Amino acid sequence: MQYFAGIDIGSTAIKIALVDENKNLVAHKISASGSMFYKYAKQSLSELLREYNIDESDLVYTVATGYGRKLFKEADENISEITANALGARAAAKDKCEIKTIINIGGQDSKAISLDSEGNVVNFAMNDRCAAGTGKFLDVVAMNLELEVDELGEYHFKSKGTPLAINSTCAVFAESEIIGLLGNDNSVEDIVAGVHYSIAKRIIKLVKRVGIKENIYFDGGPALNEGLVNAIENELGKEIFIPEFPQITTSYGAAILAHESYEYENKAR
């Protein structure tokens, strides 16, 4: 059996996906990027192959993507995360619906991608340089509220009042605003809900720049936060599709492209 790898080297996490000869997702792994992207990406790939008893010689083509994609020297090619994200989203949702709009929230940025009926990227938009509205911002919020980031979704649904407004457009000022809300005896639950709605409003503005089209797909680690999903759906007034493994969509797309590139090169010989 031959296997094809997609490696997404992001600023906070390395995501690896393997597909088989039928483009089925057979394995994946998520690990921290740390400070040495190349070393940890190579180490994570070796660990994944060992965990699934896959011989390295059966891995016949690798595509790297993401922030550190050019650092992975063993990759046969590399592609932008926009293209890989689109490929992965369409494949992950193929049995459910035809994806036309993608929302991606990563560790350091957020994106909105618009696709045509063939799955081609027709437009995309990214957040500004500020970290507000990214996964990193949620990490900082959780730390200030003395919560684990995995607890934010649970606290969102415990909110009894109107979600508090977080008006600052900068992560640093927003952090100060949250500390001020805590000092004024607002509940942690209402602050968490306010943060989620603040991020949701930012995301909606981003999506409007590329055009909101059915069906809408949400990926990246924050897509596991049910409170944030709830806030985005309420702001959009639409249901959004969350894949089973939202963190690995982009690496899955890179693995699919690895399969296609390998087939194309071998047919050309």
**Residue 132 predicted with pLDDT over 70:** no
CATH value at residue 85: 3.30.420.40
Structure tokens given for 97: 């619906």
Contact call for residues 89 and 254 (beta carbons, < 8 A)? no
The answer to whether residue 164 sits within a structural domain is no
Query: How many domains, the chain?
Result: 1
Structure tokens at 241: 């599709």
For residue 90, is it within any domain? yes
| pLDDT over threshold 90, residue 49 | yes
Look at residue 145 and tell me if it is in a domain: no
CA angle at 208 for the pair 190 and 175, rounded to the nearest 5°:
35
pLDDT in tens, 76-127: 999 999 999 999 999 999 998 999 999 999 888 899 999 999 999 999 999 8
**23 Ramachandran zone, left/alpha/beta (phi>0; psi -120 to 50):** left
- As a whole number, mean pLDDT of residues 143-158 equals 94
Q: What is the mean pLDDT of residues 205-232?
A: 95
How do 59-65 and 77-78 pair as beta strands?
parallel
Please give the model's pTM, rounded to 2 decimal places. Answer: 0.91
- How far apart are the C-alpha atoms of 35 and 122, rounded to whole Å? 34
Task: Identify the band that residue 135 occupies on the pLDDT scale cut at 50, 70 and 90.
Answer: confident
More confident residue, 236 or 168: 236
Average pLDDT over residues 237-258: 96
137 within some domain: no
Cα dist. 97→89, 111, 127, 165 in Å?
10, 21, 27, 34
Distance CA 117, CA 227 (A): 30
* Residue 240 belongs to a domain: yes
Residue 238, domain extent = 3-129+203-268
Binning pLDDT at 50, 70 and 90, where does residue 137 land? confident
Buried-exposed string 11-36: b where 16+ CB fall within 10 A, e elsewhere: bbbbbbbbbbeeeebbbbbbbebeee
Would 192 be classed as within a structural domain? Answer: no
**Residue 186: inside a domain, yes or no?**
no
Residue 34 lies in a domain: yes
